Amino acid sequence: ASPGYCWPFQGSQSEVLIRLPTQVQPMSITVQHTSKIAFPLGTVSRAPRDFTISVSLCGTLGGLDEEGKDETLLGTFTYAMQKEPTQTFPLQNKIPRAFRFLKIIIQSNWGKTEYTCIYRVQVYGKIMGTNAISQTHV
């Protein structure tokens, strides 16, 4: 990932609903930011820091209900700025069911107040009706 080709979120907190191309029983998620070397000052202050992943059990239009009361938390994670730019997080709460929508809530970043950048999100899991483990890029 190179600087300038990120998925920017305004501020240090935000959320996004991701529609997967098919129903997937999620097992892990990968978040990618660019490396420290790619930035002239070696800073990655716009990288996400703390974030959560959730799904909805109710299956309403849009995948998640409006107030979040039927959402199920799959995990709370910290993107470690000092580690590799691509980090995979096994989901802490695995549900034996497939979903079409995942919600990512960015709770903080590493210091940039104006915006937060994500370069890639990958969802790993089992596609419904198969025994294969697959990955979905969004």
Give the model confidence (pLDDT) of 50-98 as tens digits: 999 998 766 544 444 454 457 899 999 999 988 888 999 999 998 888 9
The CATH superfamily holding the domain 7-133 is Galactose-binding domain-like (2.60.120.260)
Instruction: Count the Cβ atoms, other than its own, within 10 Å of residue 29.
Output: 25
User: Are the CB atoms for 118 and 89 separated by under 8 Å?
Assistant: no
pLDDT, position 71: 85
Query: Quick check: 9 pLDDT over 50?
Result: yes
More reliable by pLDDT, 59 or 128: 128
**To the nearest whole percent, how much of the chain has pLDDT over 90?**
35
In this prediction the pTM is 0.79
User: Are the CB atoms for 63 and 101 separated by under 8 Å?
Assistant: yes
Amino acid at 61: L
Report d(CA 47, CA 33) in Å as an integer: 6
Q: Where are the domains of the chain?
A: 7-133
Give the model confidence (pLDDT) of 30-51 as tens digits: 999 876 666 655 457 888 999 9
pLDDT, position 124: 94
Q: HSE-up of 46 (CA within 13 Å, CB side)? A: 21
pLDDT, position 65: 46
3-state secondary structure 62-124: CCCCCCCCCEEEEEEEECCCCCCCEEEEECCCCCCCCEEEEEEEECCECCCCCEEEECEEEEE
Q: How far from the centroid of its chain's Cα atoms is residue 37's Cα?
A: 23
User: Are the CB atoms for 28 and 91 separated by under 8 Å?
Assistant: yes
pLDDT, position 61: 44
- Where b means 16+ CB within 10 Å and e means fewer, 1-13 reads beeeebeebeebe
